[in-house]
Structures are given as structure tokens and as C-alpha cells.
A and B are shown apart, each in its own frame.
Chain A
Amino acid sequence: MKNKKNIWLSGPYLVWSAAFVIIPLLLVVYYGLTAKDGGFSLEYITAVTQPENWKALWLSVLLSLVSTVICLILSYPLAMILVRSRLSSGSMIIFLFILPMWMNFLLRTIAWQNLLEKNGVINSVLSWLHLPAVNIINTPGAIVLGMVYNFLPFMILPIYNALSKIDENLFHAARDLGANSVQTFVKITLPLTVPGIVSGITMVFIPAMTTFVISDLLGGAKILLIGNVIEQEFKQASNWHAGSGLSLVLMVFIVINMIVTSIADKDGEGALL
């Protein structure tokens, strides 16, 4: 009886996901695997090996990796500080990190454009202080900055959650048994936060891999990422087959990432027990 009721409750979601997730996905698969005349073809899947597309894909992987590593380096210590600080001030800091997310992602990225521009806010302040100007706008550096800024909360929160779940007694036990703080970190804290780290990596890497807005706005559209190529195929070239084919290739990367996540998560849960 109870089970039946639960199925009934998930009905709206099933309808929703069939209509807006599964069917569109099947359409992408269909377009990706057919040529313009409608016949089956791998032409648009193998198109990824063309030097332009390959370069864009490689750049996407590279920039997303760099952003993910920077996010991790910034987030981990911060999450530790947040967990150790008293609850009230900790939630205040968390609030400060979530606050920008209440604003639209596009607006925040455009704001960065204004900050970084040649005559932008940062350079105005620098020139007022008689310091040399920073010319970072429209470079890969600006894209990485945009990615880190936009996706940082997605790294902090899972790590923070994983850290706050650790039983305080484990630390006391470690200290009782003679472990110094480095040993405690390596043997207790780090292994227990692996699930958080991994889900943080996924939540930063995937959106960074697929973005096209950040590279357009902060990269001056001079640096082409795979997301830009797909966007161009759909919106400018009206070639849905090529766009879908490349999307399928991109999905492979995302699936690999998710498999790694689920394996690591299992390990993580095993470690928790």
C-alpha cells in the first residue's frame, strides 16, 4: 500500500523527466548519429577529431581542470575554518558565500567584465594608487577567474558538509593515540572528506567544461571552448546534427567523471563505516 502511494507521488516527476529530459536526450542522440539526409552516420561524432574541435575540447578540459584545482585549494582550508569556527559566525560566512548566488549568473559575469576592463574598476583603483594596470580581460586567465568565481560555492558546500559530519571524538582519539596534527589530517580528516571533495570536483568540473557564456564574456570570444563550438553549430550555423554530435562526445567526458565519482563515493562511504 505504502509503496503504491509512493509511485503515485513520483508520477509528476516521471512525466516531467520524460518530457523534458529523456525525450530531448533521445533527440540529441538521434541528431548526433544522423547526417543531414536523415541516414545513420558517425560523421558528426568523428568531427571532434578535426583540429578546430579538438583544440577547443582540449582547451575546455585544460581550463576546467585548472579552475577545479584552484577551487579545491581555496575551498578546503576555508571549509575547515568554517567548521571549526563557532556555529553562528560559521553560518554567517556560509551565508556570505551563498549570497552572490541569489543574483543571476549572467549579471555576475558581466559585472566581472566591468571590473576587469582596461578602464574598469580594478584598473581605475590601481592607477589611482600609481600601480601598473592589470590586463587580464579577454585572456584565458580571465576565463579561469570567471569559472572559479562562479563555481566556488559548489566546491565549498560539499566539503563543508563532509567535514561537519566527522565525529569530534575521532580527533580526540587520534590525539590520545599520539598522532600530531599533520597525521590527524592525513589519516582522519582527508579520507573522511573524499566524498565531499569528489562531489565538489564534479560540480565544478562539469559546468566549467560545458560553459560558453564565461568564455564569450570574459574571453572576448577569442578563445573557443567546446561549449562555444556547440553553441555556434546550433545558433549560427543551424546545423543541429553537428551540435548534437559534439554534445554526445562531451557527454562521454561527463559520464566518465560521474563513474569516477560514484566509485570514489562508495569508497568514501566505506571509510565512514
Chain B
Amino acid sequence: MKMMRNRKLMALGITAALTAGLLSGCGSNTTQPEDNKEDAGEVVVYNWGDYLDPETLDMFEEETGIKVVYEEYETNEIMYPKVESGAVAYDVLCPSDYMVEKLLQNDLLQELDKDNIPNLKNIGDEYLQWSAQFDPGNKYVVPYCFGTVGIIYNKTMVEEPVDSWSILWDEKYSGNIYMQNSVRDALMVGLKSLGYSMNTTDEGQLEEAAQLLIKQKPLVQGYFVDEIRDKMIGNEGAMGVIYSGDVHYAMRENPDLAYTIPKEGTNVWIDGWVIPKNAENKENAEAFINFMCRPDIAHINFEYLTYSTPNTAARELIEDEEIRDSDILYPDMNALMDTCETFKYLGEDAEELYSDKWLEVKSQ
């Protein structure tokens, strides 16, 4: 009885092994063309969820013969501990500005060999200047996407011109205001409206910002992240704090919507490609980053994401003039330098302080 079960199991195992062999055989036949580059190896990419057109991964595999192992994360905070523990040796990551800084401070990144990334020339100088704020000398990061945070509003519900954060405290719009449901983004609005830096570690300033947000809370309809876009499209509210990358889509769906960057200044964010220190396939990683910087590929990804691309050559490929020259997608980056900032990594103590203040606001 037992024997037979074992034999059955064995048969099952052999069948499984055979099937797997057969399948992998098929796989390599279709992905690798005649000039077989069997030894090209692989590249392990750990990117934001849905942050590139999957088609570009197939194109990369086909052209280089490098197999892409692709994983996704939802937030910087989920990505960081996995990279720090080194449990998986990732070759390419796509962290945001402040997370790049944290990775650098903890010595988790390695310098890029720019000779292997000739397409870096396609990235506009003004964007490299911004990314130098968290990556001095542009040694570690190749910017991939960027944007601003501002106010999206419905022109049929808001009469006066919108140019300042202060409108989010106007009682006329009680119950029609959306705020961002994340620590730094929400406190940024409070700090910037008070004229402070959004990277402050001064407890007094943070407390002031928190009090301002507490005062605002009765007027707020809800704290959301990605849902704000859909709620604004559905005419559920009059205004909300939003990431510029979502604005283009929202305005296409609902022409009554408009976007503005408040005059007090805001957050300019940049996500970029980096290579962690424990990467096992550095050259493949650079080949991948170089591929992503190629104008046609960056253009495909722009069309897929509609997040602003710092790739100037790709931007020129955009056919729709309105999008190519849009102030929302492509504001004058030099003019923003005076009032806007990128988020900085502030260290664990300050992180806790921010989190406490935010909890204070939310629990009111």
C-alpha cells in the first residue's frame, strides 16, 4: 500500500519535472532570437506597482537576452526593509527622493558607471539639478518620473481664483475638501502654508502645523490617497490635494477640473533608478537603466503612466502639443527652486515626531 503511493508520487514528480523542462524550453525559444545570448544572465528589478509598461520589459529581454525578474512594492517604506535585510539581491530599485537619501546614509547604494548609461544625456539638466539635492554630484540616481503636489479644484464649485493653500481652510467649502492621507504630504501642506520648510525638525513648527490641520479637520470630507482623483472626477468635492501625475487623467475625464501649484511652495518629488550595493548583476542593471532612458522606451512608459518624464528627448516624441507643453506636467523647474523642495530623510527621531503629530491630527 505504502509502496504504491510512493511510486505514484514518484511518477507525479517525474511528470512535473518533464513538464517544467518542456515549458522552460518553450520559453527560451520565444524570448531569445537567433543570435542567442544564453549567458546574458538576469536582472532583478524591484519597482513601484504598475510603474512601467510591461511591454517594455519584453522588449528589453528580446533585445539584450537578459532575463528580467520583476517585483513590485506599494510604498518606499515597504521596499526599504527588504533591501536593508539583503534577503533578496535586487539589481535595480526605483525609490523616491527622501528614500534615496536614507539608502545612501545607510550605505546601501553603489555608484553608477555612467559610461554604461550613455542615454543619461537624454535627461534634462534642470531635473538633474533637482535630484542633486538628495544625490550630490548625481552619482547614484537616474531620474525616472517627477511631479509636484498641488490643489485640484472644480471650476463650477470654486468661484475665486485658487493660488494659495489658504483656500483649504475656507469654511465656504466645508465638507468638500480632500486631504492627503499620509504623514509627510499632509504636514507639508500645514508647514508650507505657515511659511516653514517641509523638512523642518523643529517641534514648535510641527506643532503649529498640526494645530492648523486640526482646525481644518471639520471642513475636510475625508483623507485619501489615490481615491481623490476619482472623487474629484465624480464631482464629490470642490477641491483636494493631489499629485500632479493624476491631474492629466482627471482633467480628461472631467473638463471642469483645474490644477494649481500654490504660491507658498510645495513638494517636488522625483523617483529614480538606483543600484543597491549587494546587486549581483551590476552591468545588467546599468543596461536596464540605459534601456529605460532610451527616448522611445521612456515615451512608451510616459504614455502608459502619464507621469511627467524628465527625459527631454522622450518629451519631444509626445505628439499632443497640449500635453507636451503642459504647465501642469512640465512646470518651469528653475522658477520652482525658490519656494519648493524635495522631501529629505530626517532620521528616525524626526520620523517619529512627524508620525506623532499626524496621529494627533487624525485622532481628533
Residues of chain A at the chain B interface (Cβ within 8 Å) = 36, 51-53, 55-56, 117-119, 138, 216, 219-222, 224, 228-229, 232-233, 235-239
Contact = CB atoms under 8 A, between A and B. Distances in A.
Interface string B338-364: 000000000010011001001110110
B147 to A, nearest CB: 20
B77 interface: yes
Contact of A55 (B78, B223, B351, B363): B363
A107 B77 CA distance: 25
20 contacts: A52-B359, A52-B360, A53-B359, A55-B363, A219-B222, A220-B221, A220-B222, A222-B220, A222-B222, A224-B362, A228-B362, A232-B358, A232-B362, A235-B77, A236-B182, A237-B183, A237-B355, A238-B77, A239-B352, A239-B355
B282 interface: no
Task: With a 10 A CB-CB cut-off, give which of B181, B235, B358 has the most chain A CB atoms.
Answer: B181
Contacts of B80: 238
Contacts of B234: 117, 119
B236 A56 contact: no
Contacts of B358: 232, 236
Name the prevailing secondary structure of the B interface residues.
Answer: helix
B224 interface: yes
How many B residues are at the interface, by size bracket?
20 to 34
B161 interface: no
A221 B351 contact: no
B81 A238 contact: yes
Task: With a 10 A CB-CB cut-off, give which of A36, A53, A216 has the most chain B CB atoms.
Answer: A216
Interface in B67-85: 75, 77-78, 80-81
A52 B357 CA distance: 10
Nearest to A218: B222
Nearest to A113: B227
Contacts of A219: 222
Interface string B72-115: 00010110110000000000000000000000000000000000
Given A36-B348, A229-B359, A237-B352, A222 B182 contact: no
A221 B222 contact: yes
Nearest to A117: B236
Task: With a 10 A CB-CB cut-off, give which of B182, B223, B235, B351 has the most chain A CB atoms.
Answer: B223
B294 interface: no
